[in-house]
A and B are shown apart, each in its own frame.
Chain A
Amino acid sequence: EIVLTQSPATLSLSPGERATLSCRASQTITSYLAWYQQKPGQAPRLLIYDAFNRATGVPARFSGSGSGTDFTLTISSLEPEDFAVYYCQQRSNWPLSFGGGTKVEIK
């Protein structure tokens, strides 16, 4: 089973700042990684799939990069609505798995 480790667990930033979130896989997953955003009391929302493709309607300030075992989600300039928990997910190996999440909170 592939384990996804997200870091940091919590990121404290101010609106307008750049956020850099990391997801590391326990073995190579090529580019089979997605990122989801979850706000309190809401369902997750797909942001990025196949490592760098933005889902429909996702603002351009969200970008994904990486391949193999190391991946990054970057939010270029945080908007108030971006403060949330972010999860990565892999589909390379069975079973499908998610990372533990990174909470982006207002500093």
Chain B
Amino acid sequence: EEQLVESGGGLVQPGGSLRLSCAASGFTFSSYWMHWVRQAPGKGLVWVSRINSDGTSTSYADSVKGRFTISRDNANNTLYLQMNSLRAEDTAVYYCARDRASRSLNNWFDPWGQGTLVTVSS
């Protein structure tokens, strides 16, 4: 079964940092682009970042550019999101999601992890 499991969320003060992890299993992780998507409480979905299969190409939403860094460890089938200079508006459930197509960029998200909640508050 293809599975993504996020971890690392929690409560952090404004200006603080947090690193999210996403453990992948059931598929060849190193063959897929990966994404992070977030959802503020009671709100809709917002794409955050993506990374190519070998980690050499990354993209970010303007709202997080310069503050967040996406990376991956293909040897350990794990995706990361390093979040620095956190703001109250970054409060959300963060989902990792696999790109639908293997070995190419599709920008459709399938499957998704269960999400991890990040709360930025003093």
Residues of A at the B interface (CB closer than 8 Å) are 34, 36, 42-46, 49-50, 55-56, 87, 89, 91, 95-101
Knowing A43-B114, A44-B109, A44-B112, say if A100 contacts B47 (CB, 8 Å). no
B112 touches A45 (CB 8 A): yes
Knowing A91-B108, A95-B62, A96-B107, say if A49 contacts B100 (CB, 8 Å). yes
A95 touches B108 (CB 8 A): no
Residues of B at the A interface (CB closer than 8 Å) are 37, 44-47, 61-62, 95, 100, 106-115
Knowing A34-B108, A95-B62, A96-B107, say if A43 contacts B113 (CB, 8 Å). yes
Q: Which of A34, A36, A87, A96 has the most CB of B within 10 A?
A: A96
Residues on B with C-beta less than 8 A from A50 are: 108
Residues on B with C-beta less than 8 A from A49 are: 100, 106, 108, 110
Residues on A with C-beta less than 8 A from B109 are: 34, 36, 44, 46, 89
B95 to nearest A CB, angstroms? 6
Residues on B with C-beta less than 8 A from A98 are: 44-47
13 pairs of residues in contact across A and B, judged by CB atoms under 8 Å? A36-B45, A42-B114, A43-B114, A44-B45, A45-B110, A45-B112, A46-B108, A46-B111, A49-B110, A87-B44, A95-B47, A96-B107, A98-B45
Q: In the bound complex, what is the Cα–Cα distance between A91 and B95 (angstroms)?
A: 18
Knowing A34-B108, A55-B110, say if A43 contacts B44 (CB, 8 Å). no
Residues on B with C-beta less than 8 A from A91 are: 106-108
